[in-house]
Amino acid sequence: MIASTCLGVGRMDETSQKIIDATMSLIRDKGYVATTTKDIARLAGVNECTLFRKFQNKKDIVLHGVSQEKWRAHVTPELFKNVQWELEPDLEMFMNAYMDKITPDFVNLSIGLRAPQLYEETASMIMKVPQAFISSLTEYFRKMEELGKIPHYDFESLAMTVFSSTFGYTFLNASFGQNLTDVGREEFIKNSVKIFVNGIVQK
């Protein structure tokens, strides 16, 4: 057993961080299942014995990684506070703020974190991102109704529609880049928002 042959001293912060960074980078690039502890040790510049002195197993490394802000998108409701109470620029702000945080690297990492071996522990962290967007946009729509600027809707469904469009473009762009479409981010956001605004105000 590895545990019996790799006895040694406790964790060293710098070495542990190198192992975490290597693990998360590999999961981002090739997925959880395809990432081996040998791969991790090689990329981190340590031997496997050191890895198992620092962490129980590969899953343990990942759970330490997802607890660090550098490996989270850190999307919170505060990200969407810069509103003007004008529908078109505010919807553009929501979509841009999300895309600024959810980079292609984070999309690929989040896909890797959905592995069945991890999902029970990582699901709540992954869901915080859409929850922050949807809850913030739903509350924004309610306030806009109170201000008399938009009619009443099922605002959560409306927020889900905007989020689905934003997530869809972000995911497809991360997966295929310009091989799928030549429509760039700015053009997509502006055109999508015009469609949303027209549909909302013409109810």
Q: Which two tokens stand for residue 70?
A: 């550098």
Residue type, 114: R
Q: Which percentage of the chain shows pLDDT scores above 90?
A: 67
Q: What Cα–Cα distance (Å) separates residue 148 from each residue in 86, 91, 141, 195, 201?
A: 11, 17, 11, 20, 11
CATH of the domain spanning 72-202, picked from 1.10.1060, 3.40.710, 3.30.310, 1.10.357:
1.10.357
∠ at Cα 163 (161, 169), nearest 5°?
105
- Residue range 62-92, pLDDT digits in tens: 999 988 888 877 788 999 999 999 999 999 9
CATH 1.10.10.60 positions along the chain are 14-65
CATH of the domain spanning 14-65, picked from 3.40.50.720, 1.10.10.410, 3.40.720.10, 1.10.10.60:
1.10.10.60
- Residue range 88-147, pLDDT digits in tens: 999 999 999 999 999 888 888 988 888 899 888 888 888 888 999 999 999 999 999 999
3-state helix, strand, coil in the chain (%, to 5): 70, 0, 30
Average pLDDT, the chain: 90
Find out whether 114 and 126 touch, Cβ atoms under 8 Å.
yes
∠ at Cα 189 (180, 138), nearest 5°?
120
Q: For residues 194 and 49, what is the distance between their CA atoms, to the nearest angstrom? A: 57
CATH 1.10.357 positions along the chain are 72-202
